[in-house]
């Protein structure tokens, strides 16, 4: 007899009294906790936890994890997100007890090792980006942007320049850029792209005036193209008294090749969880250090690490500092992973990272060109964008191609972004993928191109091989089911409606 696959939830597998763990009471408490905890703090009813044996719970979670796509299991060409391999040596380093047992309130004398790492990480970032100082506090790229906008605000306010309330963003910018500026109450103004997918200089000049606080740019931009006019853009913005902000989400192809600091950027953030190989997805944790040029150092969040004769120490902030943007000193575990990556690769290794990222993207683009339209033709940096507009005739959208790719064992590329490209499919292979993997991806895309012509319904209905096929994206965002109780409630509601 065939035994059916067990998709029950852990709560449904629960059996009263079954145990998966015995707490080593002696190690954690000298007396019976029931005797030592004050009566009014004790729970009055048992906690709702599934009761399962260790082997059952291990199988349950391992099986769940196998239904997921991850960088460790699948090719993950999610454009703009730089889903590169996360070396396991980074994990080893971050899990050393000397780090995990540290407490952020320990004294400087007892934390010299981690202070040295923070100091050296900052030195590394300064050298890579050409900036003068960094704060390691921000917890993600978007948090870095918010910190950057606070710096922009503080800088102009310190000069009594209160009229600067405009932040310019290109129409191809990532959604977090205008959102971060809007959070600081800046008025966001869009700058058009030209026919080559880069900032339209004429449109930029049209918007530039004495009210502009800042222009936010990512370079290469979200079309994977290097902004060739960046020096001229910097000149124009600075000439009008504005600042230039660099969204470092796309730093991956620049390591050792070009530096935002040399391009004229005043403030930048770096996504350690992209360029420097630390794990991300599903909301964090990340790390988005923010770097500035000299004139903005006094405004940086405090404290910053300093190297003194007697060792490393926390330097008091300048009175003009915007204050803390995160509890303690940032996501230290992520910083240790990124630091390990820097140390393992060194200067030469980092240069190879960028060269290989560019090579892989251009290889894939050229291989796919006969089957799909490339949004902007010509050489790209570490990623490129296809437009599936012409597939509209068959009723196929970019999202359908993303879904069909799942059946071939590939994570979907970014779909419907950047918004300047109709039916965009944004592909970032990253440097850690082999030619064999890229060729397999090309084969899958070729077959999908063929299906779009001959059997578009198959693409529209995909995926066929996954336990969850087409969840309702809107409901998933607006009414997420995040707990077992939510699910029970939803099921009861559905049953009521059906009855
Ligand atoms: C171009 C760009 N800017 C900013 C961000 C925001 O970074 P984070 O996800 O770390 O907040 C992203 C994230 O994908 C991005 O691709």
Q: Which two tokens stand for residue 497?
A: 């409606």
How many whole angstroms from 379 Cα to the centroid of ligand 1? 23
* Ligand 1 centroid from CA 174, angstroms: 7
Rounded Cα distance, 403 and 444, in Å? 12
Closest ligand 1 atom number to CA of residue 288: 10
Indicate the domain borders of the chain: 90-344, 353-475
Q: What's 50's DSSP letter? A: -
Q: What is the CATH number of domain 90-344?
A: 3.40.640.10
Contacts of 465-472 spanning 24+ positions with Cβ under 8 A: 465/406, 465/407, 466/67, 466/406, 466/407, 467/7, 467/67, 468/67, 470/403
Instruction: Give the binding-site residues of ligand 1, using a 6 Å CB cut-off.
Output: 80-81, 140-142, 174, 176, 218, 222, 247, 249-250, 271, 286, 288
Tokens of 75: 């090719």
CATH number of 353-475: 3.90.1150.10
Residue bearing the CA closest to ligand 1, atom 12: 249
- What is the reported pLDDT for 483? 83
Query: Which residues lie below 8 Å from residue 465, measured CB to CB, with a gap of 6+?
Result: 406, 407
Full pLDDT tens readout for the chain, 499 residues: 445 566 677 788 899 989 887 776 665 566 676 777 888 988 888 787 889 999 999 999 999 888 889 999 999 999 999 999 999 999 999 999 999 999 999 999 999 999 999 999 999 999 999 999 999 999 999 999 999 999 999 999 999 999 999 999 999 999 999 999 999 999 999 999 999 999 999 999 999 999 999 999 999 999 999 999 999 999 999 999 999 999 999 999 999 999 999 999 999 999 999 999 999 987 668 999 999 999 999 999 999 999 999 999 999 889 999 999 999 999 999 999 999 999 999 999 999 999 999 999 999 999 999 999 999 999 999 999 999 999 999 999 999 999 999 999 999 999 999 999 999 999 999 999 999 999 999 999 999 999 999 999 999 999 999 988 898 888 888 888 888 788 888 888 888 888 8
* Residue of 83, 144, 174, 417 with the most ligand 1 atoms within 8 Å of its CB, for mutation: 174
Burial string for 61-87 (b: 16+ CB within 10 Å, else e) reads eeeeeeeebebeebbbbbbbbbbbebb
pTM for the full model? 0.91
Instruction: Round the CA-based radius of gyration of the chain to a whole number and report it.
Output: 26
């Amino acid at each position: 007899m065939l035994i059916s696959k067990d998709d029950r939830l852990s709560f449904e597998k629960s059996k009263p009294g079954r145990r998966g763990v015995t707490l080593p009471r002696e190690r954690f408490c000298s007396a019976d906790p029931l005797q030592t905890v004050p009566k009014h703090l004790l729970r009055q009813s048992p906690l709702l936890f599934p009761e399962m044996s260790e082997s059952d719970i291990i199988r349950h979670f391992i099986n769940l994890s196998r239904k997921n796509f991850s960088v460790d299991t699948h090719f993950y060409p999610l454009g703009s997100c730089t889903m590169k391999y996360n070396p396991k040596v980074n994990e080893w380093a971050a899990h050393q007890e000397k780090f995990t047992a540290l407490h952020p309130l320990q004294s400087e004398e007892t934390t010299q090792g981690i202070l040295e790492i923070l100091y050296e990480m900052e030195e590394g970032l300064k050298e890579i980006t050409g900036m003068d100082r960094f704060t390691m506090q921000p917890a993600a790229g978007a948090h870095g942007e918010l910190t950057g906008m606070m710096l922009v605000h503080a800088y102009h306010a310190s000069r009594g320049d209160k009229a600067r309330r405009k932040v310019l963003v290109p129409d191809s910018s990532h959604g977090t850029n205008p959102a971060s500026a809007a959070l600081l109450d800046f008025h966001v103004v869009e700058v058009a792209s030209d026919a080559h997918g880069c900032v339209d200089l004429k449109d930029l000049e049209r918007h530039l005036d004495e009210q502009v606080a800042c222009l936010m740019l990512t370079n290469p931009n979200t079309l994977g193209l290097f902004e060739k006019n960046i020096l001229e853009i910097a000149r124009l913005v600075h000439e009008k008294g504005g600042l230039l902000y660099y969204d470092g989400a796309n730093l991956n192809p620049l390591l050792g090749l070009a530096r935002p600091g040399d391009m004229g950027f005043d403030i930048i953030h770096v996504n350690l969880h992209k360029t420097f190989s630390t794990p991300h997805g599903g909301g964090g944790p990340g790390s988005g250090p923010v770097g500035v040029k000299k004139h903005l150092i006094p405004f940086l969040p405090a404290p910053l690490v300093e190297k003194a004769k007697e060792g490393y120490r926390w330097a008091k902030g300048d009175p003009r500092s915007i204050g803390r943007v995160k509890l303690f000193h940032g996501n230290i575990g992520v910083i240790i992973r990124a630091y390990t990556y820097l140390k393992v690769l060194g200067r030469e290794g980092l240069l190879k990272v960028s060269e290989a990222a560019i090579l892989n993207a251009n290889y894939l683009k050229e291989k796919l060109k006969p089957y799909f339209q490339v949004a902007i033709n010509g050489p790209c940096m570490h990623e490129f964008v296809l437009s599936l507009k012409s597939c509209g005739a068959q009723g196929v959208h970019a999202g359908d191609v993303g879904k069909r790719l799942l059946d071939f064992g590939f994570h979907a590329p970014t779909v419907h972004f950047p918004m300047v490209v109709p039916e965009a499919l944004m592909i970032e292979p990253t440097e850690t993928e082999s030619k064999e993997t890229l060729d397999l991806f090309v084969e899958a895309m070729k077959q999908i191109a063929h299906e779009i012509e001959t059997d578009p319904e198959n693409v529209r209905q995909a995926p066929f091989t996954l336990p969850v096929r087409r969840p309702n994206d809107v409901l998933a965002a607006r009414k997420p089911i995040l707990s077992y109780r939510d699910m029970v409630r939803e099921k009861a509601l559905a049953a009521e409606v059906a009855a």
